[in-house]
Each structure stands twice: as structure tokens, then as C-alpha cells.
Amino acid sequence: MIIAIDGPTGAGKSTVGKALAKRLDYLYIDTGAMYRALALKVKESGIGLEDEVALFQLVSSIRLSFSAIGDEMHLFSNGEDVTHAIRSPEISRLASDISKSRVVREALVRMQRDFGKAGGVVLDGRDIGTVVFPDADVKFYLDADPEERGRRRFQEFSEKGLQVDLSETLKEVVERDRSDMSRSISPLKRAEDAILIDSTCLPVEEVVERMLRIVAEKRRWGEADRR
């Protein structure tokens, strides 16, 4: 099966996605991390966001791969482990900015389709159920109130020892949603056939249990169809 989880920043997609993949013994692909890895390269190379030719060259030269180290999925960018370097507020903003570029999206969507085509995969992102895998077997749209999402992001940064301000973090979450939902190419939106789950008041385990029930139901339908 291909399972898509889309939704805004801080809705819990990666926590839930990882847990779901583990329970199903599936591969977990964090597509946001791919935009972040490219953003890191853009920052290091100093190229301008409006320079589509340079962006094209950069995205054509980047080799991304996921590999499990212990319990954690690590992302390698041209052989370098960037798992932790991509988790800063600056890279979050830059990833959202570069995600508006057509050349960037085309290249990353191609890689994501390649990663997921064999199935047995949970992908999280913004356009998985709408663009990357519009025929995904199960689609979820995970949402939560902006205040709660801002608080979660703040906690995440604080746990990593990053000095951030709660109201600033909340503002950035709202701004990034606005940017991701209003861009002209593949904006974040709920696919018509995506199942909405609001995680504002739900513990992670409950969200995962709900998803597992839906996946199991979908599997039963699939088996009944084949008979």
C-alpha cells in the first residue's frame, strides 16, 4: 500500500507517520526533509531563489537517500548526513520558499515517486495525496489548531536547545501555512478523498490507532474486491 499523510506545519505528520510506518513495517519517507536538504544546499551555495537555472543545476546534482540508523531515519544529501542540520527555523523558511519553484518541485516529486513506487510506504508532506501519489491507497489530512501547532514546534526547538520565542514560532507557523497554501504550484490542500484527522486534542497513539483501523479496513475491502 501507499499511504499519504498531508497537512500543515506542526500537525504531527512526521511523529505519526514514523509510528504508523513502524507498526505496519513500512518505509517512512519525510518529503519535507527533502525540500529542507535542498534548502540547505541553496544556503551553502549562496544562489538566489529567483535564479531558476542555478536551482535546476543544484537540484539535478543532489542525490538524496534515506537510511535507518538505529530507530531513526537519517537523510543523506550527496553522502552527507544532514538529518539534524536541516531542522532550524531558517531552513524551515527557506524550504518553504524554494518549494514554490517549478524546477524544484518537478525534480523532488520525481524522486518521491521513485522512493514510493514499490509500495509498503508511508509518505508525509503537503502534496502527496493530491500530486505525488493521487492514487494512494489511503490518504490522511492531519490538522490541528494553529496555536497548538505553534506550541509543538516551539517545544521541538526548545528540546533541541535552540533559542526561540513562542510568539515568534507561532507567527512563523502561520506564515509558512499561508505560503504553502497559497503558492501557485501544488499548494497544500486536502485531497477530496483524504480522511481528515484533527490532532489538536488527540494523543499521538490515538491518532496512530485510528489510522491503523482505517488502513486495516481498506485492506479488507481490497481483499474482498480481489475475490
Closest approach of ligand DC to the CB of residue 227, in Å: 35
Member of 37, 127, 157, 208 binding ligand DC (CB under 6 A): 127
Instruction: Report d(CA 124, CA 213) in Å as an integer.
Output: 19
Backbone angles phi, psi at 31, to 5 degrees: -70, -25
Report whether 139 contacts 20 (CB < 8 A).
Answer: no
Closest approach of ligand DC to the CB of residue 158, in Å: 17
Instruction: Report d(CA 49, CA 183) in Å as an integer.
Output: 15
Side chain identity at residue 61, one-letter code: S
Closest approach of ligand DC to the CB of residue 220, in Å: 29
Member of 143, 148, 172, 180 binding ligand DC (CB under 6 A): 180
Closest approach of ligand DC to the CB of residue 63, in Å: 19
Q: Which is nearer to ligand DC, 9 or 24 (CB)?
A: 9
Instruction: Report d(CA 84, CA 90) in Å as an integer.
Output: 13
Binding status of residue 96 toward ligand DC by CB under 6 A: yes
Binding status of residue 77 toward ligand DC by CB under 6 A: no
Member of 12, 17, 116, 125 binding ligand DC (CB under 6 A): 125
Binding status of residue 130 toward ligand DC by CB under 6 A: no
* Residue 24: C-alpha distances to residues 2, 50, 69, 195 (Å): 12, 41, 18, 19
Report the DSSP beta bridge partners of residue 195: 140
Binding status of residue 129 toward ligand DC by CB under 6 A: no
Report whether 162 contacts 212 (CB < 8 A).
Answer: no
Report whether 29 contacts 197 (CB < 8 A).
Answer: no
Stretch in the footprint of ligand DC (CB under 6 A) among 67-75, 90-98, 160-168, 195-203: 90-98
Give the three-class secondary structure for 219. helix
Binding status of residue 143 toward ligand DC by CB under 6 A: no
Member of 99, 101, 169, 199 binding ligand DC (CB under 6 A): 99
Give the three-class secondary structure for 160. coil
Closest approach of ligand DC to the CB of residue 155, in Å: 15
Give me the residues that bind ligand DC (CB under 6 A), please.
Answer: 9, 31-33, 35-36, 92, 95-96, 99, 125-127, 176, 180
